[in-house]
Structures are given as structure tokens and as C-alpha cells.
């Protein structure tokens, strides 16, 4: 389903997402004020204000940190040109990029106009939001991509977070196998109790809940962008059977894999 949204968010106190999540569209996260800790796929880093993070479709991510103000542009790849998609894909390869001062004021003004249109009821709202989004991408593409300096970019800098990130990477590269807690514990020489506790403290969900969410996430992508059968999608996503895949998928999304594929 094609989706476009420009929305503003502000928190005056510290806030952390409960657990990693993903979506089918790009998320262009413009941080106007404050500082946010980001987790995306296998990366954890800190984003300073006046920066942009591009979260690709189907990427597991979450944020945490103190007070902040941001504007998000959420847009389906189908609403953008091939060149625009290629640009966003390129930018998403960096943890975060600086917004060039030459274009910052114009971009922020366009984004704020978008938030006003978003909350209104104009009959041409969708077309206007698409136009504004493509204008912002055009302005961003005119500037040199300046990745935010990695110096000092840490996410809850401690040994536990580093170890959990290694485990997350291991899961992300082995989700399509029948990985178990015992296997992970053996791979990283850690007890089951310690693994579960530390993972929950950092990721705010259990290990197997993260594995399940990742598998469902990959299955959604395969259902939409491939011609694989339901059985093949189940296998490629790490589910033990098509039947179990169907039950887990319906529990998570409210519809069967086949109906999900038909509606997208």
C-alpha cells in the first residue's frame, strides 16, 4: 500500500521506544533539536541535532534519549523515482548525515509546511505531500553528503551494549536458520539467564521475540517483492513450516501471508 506522511514530534522529557520495529516505507528522520540514540539493524549510534537519518524499508530500528524535536517524512518507495530511491538508499548507508546550512532553513520550512498540510483536510493533500517530499529530496541531493562524525557516537557506551550488538548481528545474519538460545549462548560463551537479562535491558524485548519479529519482517519483504510461494517464503524467513509461518504471521499482522501479499 502506498503511504505518504509528514509529521512532527516533540518530547520535553526523556523517551525510549519499547522495542525495535520496522515498516514498509522509508523514514526520513530530521532531528531539529536535542540528541537521539539510534539502533538500526546492526548499528547503534548517537545522532546530533540538525541531522538526518534515513531508515530504509524493513529495517529494524528504535530510538532513545532525552528531550527532542523532530520531523519525520514517511514515504513508500513506489511514490518516488528510481533516482530518488537510489539517493535515499545511498544516504541510508551512513548512520546520519548533516543538513547543509545552505539548504537547512528551506528544508525545515518545507517540512513544517508539510506538517500543516498533513493535519488539514485539503482534497489534494496527498499530491501536495508527495510534491513537498520530492522537493526536500531534491534539495538534499544538491548538497554534498556529509556523514556525521563518528567520534563520540556511542549508544549507551558500555561492554554490555557492545556484546548485545554482536549478538544482534549474529541473529540478523542467521535468522533464516533454526537458531536457538542454546546456540547463541554457546557461540558467545554466555549463560541463558545473563543473555536474556542483558538483551532485554538493551533491546527492550526478549531474544526470541526479536528473532520472530525479524523473520516476520523479512517475510513481508519477500511477499511483496518476490514471486516465491508461501512455502518458499516460510523457509527463506526461517520458519520451520508453512503452517507455523501462517499462524505466526496472522498473529502479528492480523491477516494470512496470502492475503497480505494480495493487498500490497
Q: In the CATH hierarchy, which top-level class contains the domain 159-263?
A: mainly alpha
Whole-prediction pTM: 0.86
pLDDT on residue 159: 59
Parse the chain into domains and list their residue ranges.
4-142, 159-263
What is the pLDDT averaged over residues 241-251?
Answer: 93
- CATH architecture observed for domain 4-142: Sandwich (2.60)
Q: Which residues, at least 6 apart from 248, have a Cβ–Cβ distance to it below 8 Å? A: 212, 215, 216, 239
pLDDT on residue 151: 41
From CA 184, how far away is CA 181, in angstroms rounded? 5
Convert the pLDDT of each residue in 29-82 to its tens digit.
999 999 888 888 878 888 889 999 999 999 999 998 889 999 999 999 999 999
Convert the pLDDT of each residue in 134-183 to its tens digit.
999 999 999 888 887 654 444 454 556 778 888 999 999 999 998 999 99
Sign of CA dihedral 145, 151, 156, 159: positive
Amino acid at each position: 500500500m502506498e503511504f505518504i506522511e509528514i509529521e512532527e514530534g516533540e518530547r520535553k522529557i526523556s523517551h525510549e521506544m519499547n522495542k525495535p520495529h520496522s515498516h514498509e516505507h522509508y523514514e526520513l528522520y530530521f532531528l531539529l533539536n536535542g540528541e537521539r540514540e539510534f539502533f538500526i539493524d546492526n548499528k547503534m549510534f548517537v545522532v546530533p541535532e540538525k541531522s538526518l537519518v534515513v531508515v530504509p524499508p524493513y529495517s529494524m530500528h528504535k530510538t532513545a534519549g532525552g528531550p527532542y524535536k523532530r520531523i519525520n517524512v514517511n514515504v513508500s518507495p513506489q511514490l518516488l523515482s528510481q533516482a530518488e530511491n537510489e539517493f535515499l538508499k545511498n544516504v541510508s548507508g551512513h548512520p546520519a548525515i548533516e543538513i547543509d546550512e545552505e539548504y537547512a532553513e528551506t528544508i525545515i520550512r518545507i517540512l513544517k509546511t508539510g506538517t500543516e498540510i498533513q493535519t488539514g483536510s485539503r482534497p489534494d493533500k496527498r499530491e501536495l505531500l508527495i510534491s513537498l517530499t520530492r522537493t526536500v529530496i531534491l534539495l538534499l541531493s544538491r548538497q554534498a553528503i556529509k556523514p556525521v562524525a563518528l567520534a563520540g557516537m556511542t549508544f549507551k557506551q558500555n561492554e554490555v551494549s557492545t556484546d548485545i550488538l554482536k549478538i544482534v548481528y549474529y541473529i540478523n545474519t542467521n535468522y533464516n536458520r533454526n537458531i536457538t538460545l542454546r546456540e547463541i549462548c554457546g557461540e558467545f560463551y554466555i549463560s541463558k539467564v545473563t543473555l536474556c537479562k542483558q538483551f532485554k535491558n538493551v533491546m527492550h524485548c526478549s531474544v526470541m521475540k526479536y528473532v520472530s519479529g525479524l523473520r516476520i519482517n523479512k517475510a513481508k519483504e519477500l511477499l511483496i517483492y518476490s514471486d516465491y510461494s508461501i512455502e518458499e517464503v516460510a523457509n527463506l524467513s526461517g520458519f520451520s513450516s508453512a503452517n507455523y509461518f501462517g499462524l505466526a504471521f496472522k498473529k502479528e499482522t492480523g491477516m494470512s501471508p496470502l492475503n497480505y501479499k494480495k493487498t500490497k
